[in-house]
A and B are shown apart, each in its own frame.
Chain A
Amino acid sequence: MTGLSLYALTGAVLVGFGIYGLLAKRHLLRRVIAFNLIGSGLFVFFGASAARGETVDPVPQALIITGIVVALSASALAVGLIVAKARVSGRALLPEEDDDA
């Protein structure tokens, strides 16, 4: 196995971890972390694919930087909503997934 395959597989497993967190964990802040893990797992996979061949392809690197910024924008709005929700309801969970609600 080459180094690149190692990173590509790591990326794939990171996506799997993230999906588990996004679907199985109910605390919304944990879900924001999981969302970021899925994104970065995809980027690692993408980065490994860009490093194949003799020279590194710069296009995926640029796309990944754009993707990182977009992920931060989405995360910031998400945590803002979570705080706003917790402020009015005292809980950082979706109502239908909240056993105590």
Chain B
Amino acid sequence: MTALLALLVVPLFGALAAIALSGRAAGVAVWAATLVTVAAALALVFPVGPPGIVTLELGGWAPPLGIALAADGLSVALIVMSALVMLGAGLAAHHSIGPAGEGGRMAFGFWPLMLLLWAALNAVFLSRDLFNLYVGIELLSLAAVGLVAIDGKARAYAAAIRYLVYALAGSLLYLGGVVLTYAAHGTLDMGLLAARSPAVSDGLALALMTAGLMAKTALFPFHVWLPPAHGSAPAPASAMLSALVPKASFVILLRLWLEAMPDRASDGALLLLALLGVSAVVWGSLRAIAQTRLKLVVAYSTVAQIGYLFVVFPLVGATGGDLTFRSDAWNGLVLLILSHGLAKSAMFLTVGQWMNVTGSDAFDRLRGLAVAMPISVFGFALAAVTLAGLPPSGGFTAKYLIMTAAFVSGQWVWALVMAGGGLLAAIYLYRPMAALFARSAPPETITVSTSRQLVPLALATASIALGFLAAGLLEMLPSGLPGPLAISGEGS
């Protein structure tokens, strides 16, 4: 319970301190808040007692009047992943952007926005109240847009505006669904909604919320804002934006369909979500193959990877018959989110370091870096292994679980998508890898120290380690898999 509270309030205290304090005090406050939040996240994984879903009614007011929070397996997994990514991005930003309180424009703005983004993520991963989630994703979007625009170039402004247009349109659609839901049921709590007596307007409400969240998650065909936004932000910001921000709206989507209104999750609706996911995998991968700048390859790869998450919907949302495969699909999905987040943040951080050295992320400028900066190139290569889903990595184990579920359920076509997407990832990652390992005179001065190169390597290693540790980790988490097969609960 203490850990849960710390996750909500400590990043906020840190952000306020970063705004109000200056000089060394600001830097100390930011790092204190960061480390305490990381510790609180880890405390959720290693609870004192057996794993169980922790719930909290804020202010002591129970829904429908109050707001309820709950930490289930999905929340815990995402909170821990956020903590690791934030720690890595913070360490990288400490050097590339400058410590908090240093007086410059970027150093002043980056740290409060990072901590506000983090607070918003934790709030969204824990909340079960539809309107509270709306405020949470607004905080997330505004902080994220600020980070996209931070470098002050014309291209960044255009990218930030396009991102904001999509984010705000998405918010309004979501808000429309929330309004209809409350108007029909007089509650915003997911638990109470699950037990509601269905209304005719629920379909429209769910459709509006889904469309809005798809725009915020950058699911094909609402993905056009993502590559320029993630490609224009400074590397530590891109790492957070790609690894974490789309996951927040995705988690809400998942909870809406599986937890709040599972009665509306018809086969046809789940199929539609999965088909959009397949389109995202194909289109994102093809666009990634066509790029000549590494940052854009990595950004388009996010479009494809988000697609996988939607492909899993028909498996985790299946009803009727023997449903033992659902827990495999669910665990695979959680692992996929984690391994993508860790690998993708590692990639953006390495690309940032290389741009620092060579001044560009064009492929031909990367030649020979494998000799000059072996540690960060090794980190990139490990992250690539995870993204392509090769063994032994978190990406592999995730896809293995999902493909098993696909075969068991008889929906083997989703297994083909998983395998085919891995092949496409190998193709779009081949060209940058070839450039990195090309025999060529490396750049003369390497301005990035070994210890800084270790940061992305650590994140990439974690994404590989997930492959080995998956079984143990999944046992430690209360599942949070909604529906008849929930393997969660007290003392499971």
Q: Using a CB–CB distance below 8 Å, which chain A residues touch chain B?
A: 15, 22, 28, 31, 35, 38-39, 42, 45-46, 49-50, 57, 59-60, 63, 66-67, 70, 73-74, 77-78, 81-82, 84-85, 88-89, 94-95
Contact = CB atoms under 8 A, between A and B. Distances in A.
A94 B162 contact: yes
Interface in B155-199: 157-158, 160-162, 164-165, 168-169, 171-172, 175-176, 179, 182-183, 186
A60 B182 contact: yes
B123 to A, nearest CB: 14
Give the 3 A-B residue pairs with the shortest CB-CB distance, closest first. A49-B183, A88-B154, A85-B157
Interface string B88-101: 00000000000000
B141 to A, nearest CB: 8
Contact of A81 (B135, B161, B172, B179): B161
A73 B176 contact: no
Chain A interface SS verdict (over half) = helix
A82 B161 contact: yes
B161 A39 contact: no
B312 interface: no
Contact of B142 (A15, A77, A84, A85): A77
A85 B158 contact: yes
Interface residues on B, range: 20 to 34
B138 A81 contact: no
B142 A46 contact: no
B354 to A, nearest CB: 27
Contacts of A84: 149, 152, 157
B161 A42 contact: no
A7 B369 CA distance: 64
A94 B161 contact: yes
B167 to A, nearest CB: 8
A19 to B, nearest CB: 9
Given A46-B183, A77-B164, A94 B172 contact: no
Nearest to A80: B149
Contact of B135 (A15, A22, A66, A77): A66
A22 B175 contact: no
Nearest to B142: A77
A93 B158 CA distance: 9
A78 B149 contact: no
Among B138, B168, B171: residue with most chain A CB under 10 A:
B168
A78 B168 contact: yes
B172 A35 contact: yes
Contacts of B158: 85, 89, 94-95
Contacts of A85: 154, 157-158, 161
A13 B142 CA distance: 28
Contacts of A77: 142, 145-146, 164
Given A49-B182, A60-B182, 5 more contacts: A39-B172, A46-B182, A66-B131, A81-B161, A84-B149
Contacts of A89: 154, 158
Contact of A63 (B131, B149, B162): B131
**Of residues B146, B157, B182, which shows the largest number of chain A Cβ atoms within 10 Å of its Cβ?**
B157
Contacts of A66: 131, 135
A45 B152 CA distance: 39
Contacts of A60: 182
A28 B168 CA distance: 13
Contacts of B157: 81, 84-85, 88
Contacts of B171: 74
10 contacts: A45-B183, A49-B179, A50-B183, A63-B182, A66-B131, A74-B164, A78-B161, A78-B164, A84-B149, A94-B165
A74 B168 contact: yes
A42 B175 contact: yes
Nearest to B173: A38
A35 B166 CA distance: 11
B168 A35 contact: yes
B135 A28 contact: no
A53 to B, nearest CB: 10
Given A31-B165, A60-B182, A85-B154, A73 B142 contact: yes
